[in-house]
Amino acid sequence: MTHVVVTGASSGIGAACARAFGKLGHKLSLGARRSDGLAGIAPGAFCHGLDVTKAASVERFLAAAIAANGPIDVLVNNAGLARGVEKIAEATGEAWREMIETNVLGLLEVTRRALPAMIARKQGHVVVIGSIAGHKAYVGGGVYCASKRALQPICETIRMETLGSNVRVTSVDPGMVETEFSLVRFRGDAERAAKVYDGVRPLTADDVADCVVFAATRPPHVNLDTIVVMPTDQANPQMVHRAPKA
């Protein structure tokens, strides 16, 4: 039975991944800052608080997960966020720091602790939830885009550094997904967040989870390096088809 670890699992894509793997009967270890939101996401899952920006929190979570469910087979690095849409000249360092510490350094803190055992066991899969923002920049998203683009060379490097160890690395990079993403970006402004998806058929968290599970369930000799998944109504971060209002 595969042991799947999911970070940022209390909502959105992380929760959808947990449910999808849980339906397949895999052992689950779920971590999130909002640990109270983990209960009930997937029956039988091990749940534990996790702040990927704090090294001590990462160490406690992974140690507890391994003690509960054994060696990690699949690590889904989902924890991440966007904060604000200010232009570079108008933004503040606090929001930049939060995005970089969570999206980049947090992912590295978790991954560097999981990789050695995967390499030693000659099996394992690191999945990174990236974004179309890592491929195409847009106005107001400079630092968020930079944090997601950074994940591409990180994934490429891990692939090279683990070559021959049977460790697989996959980046799943979605376009517009209707989750709490915009609510977090706009600091709880629900009305503004809802307008992001107005007239659009965005992806769902389950759509992205389908891609993650598909990659993780390929034969051991098959590695899907990058999956870019977009809504049919979106061509790039700035080109979105919106149905006219009746």
Q: Is the CB of residue 83 less than 8 Å from the CB of residue 185? A: yes
* Of 92 and 173, the one with more pLDDT: 173
Determine the distance from the C-alpha atom of residue 24 to the mean position of all C-alpha atoms in its chain, rounded to a whole number. 20
pLDDT of residue 174: 98
The mean pLDDT value for 126-136 works out to 98
Torsion sign across C-alpha atoms 82, 5, 111, 162: negative
Query: What distance separates the 2 farthest-apart alpha carbons in the chain?
Result: 60
Q: In whole angstroms, what separates CA 79 from the centre of its chain?
A: 5
pLDDT band at 31 (very low <50, low <70, confident <90, very high): very high
Q: Is pLDDT above 80 for 205?
A: yes
Domains of the chain by start residue, with CATH: 3-240 (3.40.50.720)
Specify the pLDDT at position 106: 98
144 is catalytic: yes
Mean pLDDT of the chain: 96
pLDDT (mean) for 90-118: 95
pLDDT, one tens digit per residue, over 143-176 is 999 999 999 999 999 999 999 999 999 999 999 9
**pLDDT at residue 246 greater than cutoff 90:** no
Report the pLDDT averaged over residues 178-200.
93
pLDDT for res 37: 87
Percentage, residues of the chain above pLDDT 70: 100
Q: Which one is catalytic: 144, 178, 193, 203?
A: 144
Measured distance CA(132)–CA(55) in Å, rounded: 28
